[in-house]
Structure 1
Amino acid sequence: MTTLSIFNQSQPDAAHTVTTDPQVISDTLASQGVRFERWPTRELPADASQEQILAIYAEEVAALKRECGFLTADVVSLNPDNPQKDAFRQKFLAEHTHSEDEVRFFVRGQGLFYLHFGGQVYALMCQKNDLISVPNGTHHWFDMGPEPEFTCIRLFTNPDGWVASFTGEDIAARLPRYEALAGVAG
């Protein structure tokens, strides 16, 4: 279930707001400039290729490209049997920013976005059907968990794709990780 937990960075062990209501999540994130929407998903073959996924969602991808000026779209997918899953997880666990909006539409699985605004951290457990657009310059990180299983459509204005500028802050290490927020045994 899509869940938003808001933490005070000075008390990272206790979420002070938790909601699963999609409208409350959307409104709360919108107040920080973050776009959150629930989109209907379509049936996909278990072994759907990037091309198939992009073709199935061509209308939505084209609309976002027109609306936001995105130039490219691709699909990222990770499964628990990936031998590099630990390295991939570590790469995204450090707080960073981007010079463009980070857009993800979850067509399968789940992942946890952390958004750092001032003294608060918004932890959004995204699920299948969730679209998130993190504005450029927003301090954030992503936790896919120890057994990642997700497929997302990504959109970019930069043809080089995902380019991060790491902040060097240790805030990500001080907050509960995916295992705690997803109820998964670590």
Structure 2
Amino acid sequence: MSSLSVYHVSSPDLPNKVLTHFDDITATLAEQGVRFDRWQAAVKLQPGATDEELVAAYQGPLDQLMTDRGYLGVQVISVSSEQQPSAEPQARRLEEQHFEEDHVRFFVAGRGLFNLHIGEYVYAVLCEKNDLILVPAGTRHWFDMGERPHFVAIGLFRTALEPLAHITPGGIAGDFPPLDD
């Protein structure tokens, strides 16, 4: 189940609020300029579907978002604990960062935890299957895929390639609870 935990930066162990209802999550994030949505596939996806089949299953809402926001690039990102990701890429994702363009992820399968550092608060968004998150350009955040990562996501970009992340010196990512497996 998707959830949103809101922490003050001074109390990373105790959330101010925890939301689990889709409308509450959406409204709270919208107040911060973050889009959170839920999409359904137009067709039933089979295990082992190709990247092209995954994109085609969500083509309608993807095309609409790409047109509305000017995105040109689409990438399917598939991560599994069976792939044995090295410790360095995992550690890098737990560093606070920002991009010069929106950071868009739609979860086709699995889950991941987006932590958004906005002002004096951290918004920890647990994204699961069918969840879309659009983190506005410049928003400091980090992504936690857990100790045993498993997710398939579709990323959208303004260019053909994923933009470079800018690491926040002295970021606070390590102070907040990680994604529990």
Shared fold, TM over 0.5:
yes
What is residue 6 of structure 2 aligned with on the other side? 6
Is 1:85–1:148's contact at 8 Å kept on the other side of the alignment? no
Q: CA deviation at 1:128?
A: 0.4
> Aligned partners of 1:168 and 1:45: how far apart in 2?
43
Classify 1:52/1:85 alpha carbon distance in 2 versus 1 (closer, same or farther; 3 Å). farther
Is 2:77–2:153's contact at 8 Å kept on the other side of the alignment? yes
> Aligned partners of 1:49 and 1:62: how far apart in 2?
19
Classify 1:43/1:85 alpha carbon distance in 2 versus 1 (closer, same or farther; 3 Å). farther
- What aligned pairs does 1:28-177 form with structure 2 within 5 A after superposition? 28-41=28-41, 42-84=43-85, 86-177=87-178
Q: CA deviation at 1:169?
A: 2.2
Q: CA deviation at 1:86?
A: 3.3
> Aligned partners of 1:72 and 1:148: how far apart in 2?
24
> Aligned partners of 1:43 and 1:93: how far apart in 2?
33
Is 2:108–2:154's contact at 8 Å kept on the other side of the alignment? yes
> Aligned partners of 1:170 and 1:102: how far apart in 2?
18
> Aligned partners of 1:103 and 1:31: how far apart in 2?
18
TM-score by length of 1: 0.92
Is 2:40–2:58's contact at 8 Å kept on the other side of the alignment? no
Is 2:39–2:61's contact at 8 Å kept on the other side of the alignment? no
Q: CA deviation at 1:167?
A: 0.8
5+ unaligned residues in a row in structure 1: which ranges?
none
- What aligned pairs does 1:21-32 form with structure 2 within 5 A after superposition? 21-32=21-32
What is residue 18 of structure 2 aligned with on the other side? 18
Q: CA deviation at 1:43?
A: 2.7
Deviation by residue 1:4-50 (Cα, 9 ceiling, x = unmatched): 00011111110110010100100000000000011123532221121
Identical positions, percent: 41
- Aligned Cα RMSD in Å? 1.2
The worse-fitting range, judged by mean Cα deviation, of 50-59 and 84-93 is: 84-93
Amino acid across the alignment from 1:23: D
Residue 123 of structure 2 aligns to a residue in which SS? strand
Is 1:76–1:154's contact at 8 Å kept on the other side of the alignment? yes
5+ unaligned residues in a row in structure 2: which ranges?
none
Q: CA deviation at 1:126?
A: 0.3
Deviation by residue 1:124-177 (Cα, 9 ceiling, x = unmatched): 000101010000000000000010110001000022214101111230000111
> Aligned partners of 2:114 and 2:135: how far apart in 1?
9
TM-score by length of 2: 0.95
Residue 36 of structure 2 aligns to a residue in which SS? strand
Aligned length in residues: 180
Please list every run of at least 4 consecutive aligned residues from structure 1 whose deviation after the TM superposition is greater than 2 angstroms: 85-88
